Amino acid sequence: MKGIFTALMCSFDEQGNINEQGLREIVRHNIDQSKVDGLYVNGSTGENFLITTEMKKRIFEIVKDEAGDQVKLIAQIGSLNIDEAVELGKFVTELKYDAISAVTPFYYKFDFEEIKDYYETIINEVNNDMIIYSIPALTGVNMSLDQFGELLAHDRIIGVKFTAPDFYLLERLRHAFPDKLIYSGFDEMLLPASVLNIDGAIGSTFNVNGKRAREIFELAQQGKITEALEIQRTTNDLISAILANGLYQTIKEMLKTKGVDAGYCRKPMKQISAEKVARAKELAEKYM
């Protein structure tokens, strides 16, 4: 379960329906071209919070069918509707996903007791390993080292996807939990996270920059920081350009340039202008 995991995009048509062939092509691109170690399915990058339960299940099925056992698969099943989270957790466990992951419950200001109960309810009902998905910038949920510790005390809570720029907390977590899996979630900060000895990374830009991500991660593990920094700089030139142009839309347009039918984003995400589509094409030509 260590290494580079792509936070998988999903291909939707212009009406917002799943484009099955396009999704299969995105999976194949990540496995065959980028050679990532695994896929993180139905996370933020998969536009998970914009789709129905049935669509989530269909995406889990298509990805498993296409990827088989070629790479590790983590299913993001977290939901504000805890019954949905449990239902999806059971569903992907039947499909033989390697682990589940759940975003911290958001929108309402849940206290830690409620957050803990959410994770315990899911792991008590679903027979699979759990990776906590912490992304405070989007959820507003900031957990302390002790609170992470209370959750990680469960044998079946095996790790954290840490999408935050708090390197002090990341170092403390790594030090306190050497046997748990810690994944970095911000691709633009992969090198500093790798220096802190994380186990892997889960990122959206790996859909188009997977090979560089692996190089950064592996060079850092070998202590070759100058070389790794060089690649992080190139990566960050790309990430800055993607963020300025529209994150998920630009990654989809870059994939299309390479013959991958990555489709469109779901509303309320907008479609980008022809000018931005042209910019994405330039980025694909320069960086992919």
- Give dist(CA 215, CA 232) in Å, integer: 9
CA count, 13 A, side-chain hemisphere, 188: 11
Looking at the Cβ atoms of 128 and 235, the one nearer to ligand NAY is: 235
163 is in an annotated binding site: yes
The CA-atom distances, in angstroms, between 229 and each of 36, 167, 179, 218, 288 are 20, 17, 27, 12, 19
- As measured in angstroms, the least distance from the Cβ of 113 to ligand NAY is 25
Looking at the Cβ atoms of 38 and 222, the one nearer to ligand NAY is: 38
Q: With H, G, I as helix, E, B as strand and everything else as coil, classify residue 51.
A: coil
Catalytic position from the list 40, 118, 119, 133 = 133
DSSP string of 187-222, one letter each residue:
GGGHHHHHHTT-SEEEESTHHHHHHHHHHHHHHHHT
Catalytic position from the list 161, 180, 252, 256 = 161
Looking at the Cβ atoms of 105 and 185, the one nearer to ligand NAY is: 185
Note the residues at the interface with ligand NAY (CB under 6 A): 7, 43-45, 135, 138, 163, 185-188, 202-205, 239, 247
User: Which residues pair with residue 26 across a beta bridge?
Assistant: none
- As measured in angstroms, the least distance from the Cβ of 127 to ligand NAY is 23
* Catalytic (active site) residue 133: yes
User: Is it true that the peptide bond before 268 is cis, omega within 30 degrees of 0?
Assistant: yes
226 is in an annotated binding site: no
Looking at the Cβ atoms of 225 and 247, the one nearer to ligand NAY is: 247
* Catalytic (active site) residue 168: no
- As measured in angstroms, the least distance from the Cβ of 94 to ligand NAY is 22
140 is in an annotated binding site: no
CA dihedral 109, 112, 116, 119 (to 10 degrees): 40
- As measured in angstroms, the least distance from the Cβ of 191 to ligand NAY is 13
- Give dist(CA 104, CA 80) in Å, integer: 9
> Annotated catalytic sites, by residue?
133, 161
| Residue numbers belonging to the annotated binding site | 44-45, 163, 185, 187-188, 202, 204
| Residue numbers belonging to the annotated binding site for pyruvate | 45, 202
